[in-house]
Amino acid sequence: MSALLELEGVDKSFGALKVSDDITFSLPKGQALGIIGPNGAGKSTLFNLIGGTLPVSSGAIRFDGADITRMPASSRCRMGISRSFQIPHPFVGMSVYENLLVASAFGNADHHDAEAACRDILDVTGLLARANRPAGSLTLLERKRLELARALASNPRLLLLDEIAGGLTEGECHDLVGTIQGIRDQGVSIIWIEHIVHALTAVVERLIVIDFGKIVAEGAPDAVMSDPFVQEIYMGISVDDDAA
Amino acid sequence: MTVTTPTMPAQRTNRIALALRLLLGLVTVALALAPVWAGRADLRLLMEVLSFLALAQMWNLLAGYSGLISIGQQAFVGLGGYLFFALAMFAGVPLLAALPLAALLTALVALPTGWIAFRLQGAYFAIGTWVIAEVFRLSAAQIGALGGGSGISLPVDLARSLAESRGAREVVMYYIAFALGLVSVLLVWMLLRSRWGLALTAIRDSEPAAEAVGVATRKVKFLIYVLTAGVTGLVGGFIFLQKLRITPEAAFSINDWTAFVIFIVVIGGIGTIEGPIIGVIVFFALREVAADWGTWYLIGMGAIAIAVMLIDKRGIWGAVKARYGLSILPVGRVLDAAPPAKPD
C-alpha cells in the first residue's frame, strides 16, 4: 500500500519551546490512525502542521507523493486534507447548510449537486433538522457535529479529527463512532486525536503516542495500550508503584 | 452558552421584512425622482448622503466581511480625486470618462500599496493604511502642477462641459451620486449572493476555519482590498467633481473619509448590508440636528459610538438581525426539502 501522508523529521518550535520534535511517520491509504498523549503533548500542533494552519520549523510533509510543506491550508484542503478543530470554529452568522456549502464550493469536492451532497452529509451527521438554522444557535455538541459535517463537505481523502468525541455522552459517543466507521469504510483515511480511548480503538487500526512533542510509542492499539511505558505517561500509572 | 432564538413568529418577521423592503423600494424611487421634488440645497445634501453610503458600503465590505480594518481609506478618496482632476485638466479626458478611469487607476495603485499593507496584520495593518494615506497626502502637496499644498480648482469651462447651466449640471451630478449609492449597495448584495459571498462571510466569521475548508483567504482579501479601493476612488473623483476644488487636506482627510465612515458602519451594523444604509441615515440626521452645536457635535457623535459599543457592538441593524432574524436584502441560501426548523 502506498503512503497517503508522510511526515519526515518534522519540528515545530515556539521560541525555546519545542512542541513537535522530529516527528516521522507515514499513513498508508485507507488507514485509520489514532493519536493519544497527555494534554499539552503537541497533538493539536501536529494537526496544525499537517493541515497547514502553522508552518513547520523544519522537516517535510508529503501528501500523495507531493511535497506540501510550504503549501497554505486552503491548497491542502483542495488536495483532500480536511480537519475538524478541537474548539469548534463554526461560521456563526451562516446557517448550518451554508457552513457546508463553503466547504463544498471551495474544498476538494467535485459535487455536481452540492445541495444533495450537503443534505446527505447533514443526514449522516444528524444535523438535517438544523440545516437552515444559524450555526451560532447550535449547542456545543451540535457544533462538534458541524465540525465533522463541514470537514466531510469538502470531500476529503484524509480526515483529521481533533477530539471530536470529547464531552459527549456514552450514547452520543457510540453514534459518533458508528458515523466515523462509516466514513472509514468508504475509503477515507483518518487521523484521530482522542482522549476517549475505547472510542478510538473501535475505529483505528494503529496508534501513535506523543509526549513532549515526540513519538514515544507506535503500533497496534492493543499492544500500544498494554505497553507499561505508555501506561505510565498516559494513564499516570507508575509501573513501579503497581509492583510495590 | 447563550442560544439566541427568534422571539417573534416567523410570519410576523416575514411581514416586517416585506414592509421594510417596500419602504426601501419607495425610498429608491423617491431618490430617483429627487431632482423633481428637491430644492438645490436638498439635492446637494442627498449627493453627500449617497456618496457616504457608497464609501460606507465599501468600508463595510473591507472591515465587516474581510476583517481588514483600514483607517486609511482617505488614501483612495484623495487619490481618486486627484487622478480625476489630473485626467480632466491635463490629459483632456472628458469628465464622465475621467471618473471611471480614475477609479481604475486607483485600483491599480492599490496593488502595490496592498502588497505593502498585507505584510502587516490586525492593528499594524490599520496603522499601516493610515501611514500610506499620509504619504499620499504629503506627496500630493509636493506636486506643483496640481497646486501643491494650496490645491487646485477645476476650470469653469471644464465644469461647463458637463452641462451648460448650473441647474442642469447639478442634475447630472445628482444622478452620478444616485448611481454610486445604488450600485454600491447592489454590488455588495450581488457579491454576497455569489460564491464569493460564501467565502467572505466565512472569513468574517472565522478566518482559520475558512482557510481550512479551502478558501484562499489571502487572495480573497487582497482582491476585496483592490476592489474597494477602486470604488472608493470613484467616489473620491465624484466628491471633488462636486466640490470643483481639491486640496491635499480635504482630499486625504482622515476625519471626513474614514472616521465618519467608520462611525456610519459601526452605528448601523458592521458586517451587514443594511447596516451602512441605517448608519448613513443616523449620521446625517444627527448632523442636520446638531449643525449649530460646534464641537459638541463631534463630542456627541463620539459618545454615541461609545454607547453603541457598550450596549451592543453589533450596531443597530446587527442587534435587530440577531434578535428577530430580519433581513431586508437576504443573502442566505436555504436547503429545500429539509424538515422545517423546530422552535426550541
Could you read off the pLDDT of B119-131 as tens digits, one per residue? Answer: 998 889 999 999 9
Where exactly does CATH 3.40.50.300 map onto chain A? 3-80+157-243
Quick one: pLDDT band at residue B337, thresholds 50, 70, 90? Answer: low
**Which residue in B195, B201, B214 is closest to A91 by CB distance?**
B201
Q: What is the mean pLDDT of residues A167-183?
A: 88
**Neighboring chain A residues of B205 at a CB cutoff of 8 Å:** 90-94
Count of structural domains within chain B? 1
ipTM of this predicted complex?
0.88
B330 in a domain, yes or no? no
- pTM exceeds 0.90: no
**Which residue in B3, B205, B208 is closest to A53 by CB distance?**
B208
B63 in a domain, yes or no? yes
Q: What is the mean pLDDT of residues A18-33?
A: 92
**Which residue in A128, A132, A150 is closest to B334 by CB distance?**
A132
Asked if B333 lies within 8 A of A101 by C-beta distance, the reply is: yes
Rounded to the nearest integer, the mean pLDDT of chain A is: 88
**Tens-digit pLDDT profile for residues B255-291:** 899 999 999 999 999 999 999 999 999 999 998 888 7
Q: What is the mean pLDDT of residues A208-236?
A: 85
Tell whether B213 lies on the interface with A, counting CB pairs under 8 A. yes
- pLDDT(B224) > 90: yes
Q: What is the mean pLDDT of residues B30-54?
A: 93
Q: What is the mean pLDDT of residues B128-146?
A: 93
Q: Which of residues A123 and B14 earns the better pLDDT score?
A: A123
Q: What is the mean pLDDT of residues B214-219?
A: 93
**Which residue in B4, B206, B325 is closest to A91 by CB distance?**
B206
B268 in a domain, yes or no? yes
Q: What is the mean pLDDT of residues A2-25?
A: 90
Task: Show which of residues 129-148 on chain A sit within 8 Å of chain B, judged by CB atoms.
Answer: 129-134, 136-137, 139-140
Tell whether A182 lies on the interface with B, counting CB pairs under 8 A. no
B1 in a domain, yes or no? no
Q: What confidence score (pLDDT) does residue B87 get?
A: 95
Asked if B334 lies within 8 A of A95 by C-beta distance, the reply is: yes
B335 in a domain, yes or no? no
B331 in a domain, yes or no? no
- pLDDT(B341) > 80: no
Quick one: pLDDT band at residue A241, thresholds 50, 70, 90? Answer: very low
**Neighboring chain B residues of A53 at a CB cutoff of 8 Å:** 208, 211-212
Nearest residue in chain A measured CA to CA from B2: A137
**Neighboring chain B residues of A83 at a CB cutoff of 8 Å:** 212
**Which residue in A97, A107, A119 is closest to B214 by CB distance?**
A107
Asked if A93 lies within 8 A of B5 by C-beta distance, the reply is: no
Q: What confidence score (pLDDT) does residue B1 get?
A: 43
Q: Which of residues B3 and A19 earns the better pLDDT score?
A: A19
Asked if B201 lies within 8 A of A128 by C-beta distance, the reply is: no
Q: What is the mean pLDDT of residues B107-118?
A: 94
Q: What confidence score (pLDDT) does residue B214 get?
A: 93
Task: Show which of residues 40-59 on chain A sit within 8 Å of chain B, judged by CB atoms.
Answer: 51-53
Q: What confidence score (pLDDT) does residue A243 get?
A: 42
- pLDDT(B3) > 90: no
| CATH of residue B260 | 1.10.3470
- pLDDT(B20) > 50: yes
Asked if B341 lies within 8 A of A92 by C-beta distance, the reply is: no
B33 in a domain, yes or no? yes
Min distance B202 CA to chain A CA atoms (Å)? 6
**Which residue in A92, A102, A132 is closest to B215 by CB distance?**
A102
Min mean pLDDT across A36-45, A108-117, B278-287 is at A108-117
- Range of the structural domain that residue B289 is part of: 10-324
B2 in a domain, yes or no? no
**Tens-digit pLDDT profile for residues A116-168:** 899 999 998 889 999 999 899 998 889 999 999 999 999 999 999 999 888 88
Q: What confidence score (pLDDT) does residue B2 get?
A: 46
Residues of chain A with pLDDT > 70, as a percent, come to 95
Fold (topology level) of A3-80+157-243: Rossmann fold (3.40.50)
Residues of chain A with pLDDT > 90, as a percent, come to 56
Q: Over chain B, what HEC string results?
A: CCCCCCCCCHHHHHHHHHHHHHHHHHHHHHHHCHHHHCCHHHHHHHHHHHHHHHHHHHHHHHHHHCCCCCCCCHHHHHHHHHHHHHHHHHCCCCHHHHHHHHHHHHHHHHHHHHHHHCCCCCHHHHHHHHHHHHHHHHHHHHCHHHCHHHCEECCHHHHHCCCCCHHHHHHHHHHHHHHHHHHHHHHHHHHHHCHHHHHHHHHHHCHHHHHHCCCCHHHHHHHHHHHHHHHHHHHHHHHHHHHCEECHHHHCCHHHHHHHHHHHHHHHCCCCCHHHHHHHHHHHHHHHHCCCCCHHHHHHHHHHHHHHHHHCCCHHHHHHHHHHCCCCCCCCCCCCCCCCCCCC
Q: What confidence score (pLDDT) does residue A239 get?
A: 47
Asked if B338 lies within 8 A of A74 by C-beta distance, the reply is: no
Q: What confidence score (pLDDT) does residue A235 get?
A: 65
Quick one: pLDDT band at residue B136, thresholds 50, 70, 90? Answer: very high
- pLDDT(B49) > 90: yes
Q: Which of residues A67 and B337 earns the better pLDDT score?
A: A67
Q: What is the mean pLDDT of residues B194-208?
A: 91
Task: Show which of residues 85-104 on chain A sit within 8 Å of chain B, judged by CB atoms.
Answer: 85, 89-95, 97-98, 101-103
